[in-house]
Amino acid sequence: MEEDDNLPAADSALQRKHAAMIERLSNSHQSRLARKPNSESNSTFISTSSFLSRFSESKNSIESTLSRIRQTPDPHTNPTLKSELDNVSISIADLEKLVAENSFSLPSYEVRTCLKTITDLKQLVEHVTSEVIPRKKFSFKNKSTKKITTQNDTVSEVPNVESKDSVLRVLDSPGFRGKENEVLVKEFGRGNDEEIREFVLSELKGCDVRLMGSVRALFVHKLIDCKVYVGPVFGSVLIEEVTNCVFVMASHQIRIHQAKRCDFYLRVRSRPIIEDSDGVRFAPYCLKYEGIEKDLEEANLGEETGNWSNVDDFKWLRAVQSPNWSILPENERVGTVDISS
């Protein structure tokens, strides 16, 4: 199947596979219709028109609701916005179900267009949610100390991490903290290690960090002159207060706050978000280590999405390109980085 030129490279592999399957079903259905009387073909045409009308009506309703939510005075004090946004997400799910149920009788082009519209609506919901719901702010602070053994069997005192938001508290998370000019290596889910859900990098200077295997969430706080190489993250990466660093990481969601003069080599399922940052540059993921292909597939990050270049700057609301980020020129990019050894 040829890709529609109007669809961006950011469409997920899952969506492309779904569209390919739908096209095969549609072509088969249209072939059967070609052998049927004209009256049945006319009936199908009316059904397609009816579907598109219903789809357009639902789409317009969702967009109208989101527009109204964005214009709500003082949204942070409105307790109903969260439930309204949840209802919008349900409406989008219903719209996706509608496409799936009718895909066999629709032209493949219409199906691909509808799937692209649904993807755009999901991203719009994320954007609006970030605007009107109070941002979950993480604070890294000492609560108690705990001995943990790092990859090289050295033992260090590690403070616990706690978020100001109780919903996203990250208590007792292992990590690397307070290091300077060291090579820090950790392998997740290898050997007899128990599963680590969250990992923290905090107050590092001049360090080379290598994280192999998969982790659920990664929190990065106050790094200077560091190079951070990360395997797949199943959930989110939150980066705060970093300067003159290089990050190579794959994740479903990446949020960057207060980054200065940093390069990011990313593979990400949703659009990267920056805020209060400047001089940050982006390029595609380039990490390699033994077993990374399997790790990426298991994390549903096996294929490039192109979202590394679709950056949202929450402090730049104009229609023109934000001056705070740019694409890293190809002649300045590092090659494939192999951290196996």
Q: Which of 52, 46, 70, 45 is nearest to 133 (CA)?
A: 70
pLDDT for position 154 = 41
Residue 194 has pLDDT above 70, yes or no: no
Per domain, the residue ranges of the chain are 13-132, 145-338
**Please, which residues have CB within 8 angstroms of residue 98's CB and are 6 or more apart in sequence?**
51, 54, 55, 58
In tens, the pLDDT along 23-42 reads 554 554 455 444 444 444 34
Domains 13-132 and 145-338 share a fold: no
pLDDT for position 47 = 75
Fold of 145-338: Pectate Lyase C-like (2.160.20)
- With beta carbons less than 8 A apart as the criterion, state whether 184 and 209 touch: yes
Confidence class for position 14, pLDDT limits 50, 70, 90: low
CA atoms in the 13 A half-sphere facing the CB of 153 = 0
Whole-angstrom CA distances from 55 to 62, 90, 271, 287 are 11, 15, 25, 41
Segment 215-227 shows an average pLDDT of 92
pTM: 0.53
Q: Which of 301, 315, 140 is nearest to 236 (CA)?
A: 301
Residue 161 has pLDDT above 50, yes or no: no
Domain 13-132 - what CATH class?
A: mainly alpha
Q: How far apart are CA 58 and CA 54, in angstroms?
A: 6
Residue 155 has pLDDT above 60, yes or no: no
